[in-house]
Amino acid sequence: MNLLILDYGSGNIKSVYNSLKFVLDKIDKRYEINVSNSANDISKSDFIILPGVGSFQHCKESIFKYVGLVDALYETVLIKSKPFLGICVGMQLLADFGMENGKHEGFGWIKGKVKPLEKQINLNHYNLKIPHMGWNNIEIISQDNILKDISKHDHFYFVHSYYFDAVNSENVLTLTKYGKNIPSIIKRENIYGLQFHPEKSGYSGQKILKNWIKNC
C-alpha cells in the first residue's frame, strides 16, 4: 500500500512524515510513505495527504504550479475514490472559496467558504487571540470511523486564523469552541479534512491518523 504526502513546498512535511511512519510501523510495516509532487505518483497512490501551512492563496498557487498535479488529484480522489486527508490549510483548500486577502477559488470538493476568525467572534469579550494557537478538544457531532476511540478528553493542536464555514451540516463531524463553534473535522465520502495538526497532537493525533488509514 502506498501513502503519498503531497509536497508542493508549503506544508509541514517532515513532521507529517515522522508521525505517519510512527503510526504505520505499529499497523503494518508493508505500507510505503512517498513524498512527492509527481502526477504519476499521485495516480499510483492508495492514500493521499495534503498538508498545508501559510495562506490559502499561496498554497493553492503552489499546487497549481506543478504540471498535471491537479488533474491527477481530481482523477485519483474524485473518480477512483482513494482516501484523501487535508490538514489545516490542506483542509481549507477543499472549500469553494477562501476569503483571505480577497476571494480565491478552492477545490470545491466540500461546499463552504473559508472565513477570518477575527470577524466572527468578539475577541475582547472572550479574551481570545488570533491566531487560534494551542490545544483544544473537539465535540463529536456525527460518529465516523475516523473518530474511533476519540472522546472529549482528547486534545488536538491548532494553529489557524481562518475557519471552514461549511454549507451542509452533514459534512461536519466535529466542532471546536473558540469564541464560536468551528468545524474541526469535515468529511464528504472518501474526503476528510482536519483543521488541527494531527502530527503535532501526540497520542490523540496518532489515533486519528491510525483510524483514517485502517478504517476510512
Dihedral sign (CA 59, 183, 102, 157): negative
- 26 SS3 class: helix
Residue 101: closest CA among 59, 51, 157:
59
CB contact burial 8-43 (16+ within 10 A = b; e otherwise): bebbbbeebbebbeebbeeeeeebebbbbbbbebbb
Active-site position among 88, 100, 132, 160: 88
- 66 SS3 class: coil
- 110 SS3 class: coil
189 is catalytic: no
Dihedral sign (CA 203, 181, 98, 170): positive
- 197 SS3 class: strand
118 is catalytic: no
Active-site position among 118, 139, 199, 216: 199
Backbone angles phi, psi at 32, to 5 degrees: -115, 130
216 is catalytic: no
Please state whether beta strands 97-98 and 104-105 pair in parallel, antiparallel, or not at all (unpaired): antiparallel
Catalytic (active-site) positions: 88, 197, 199
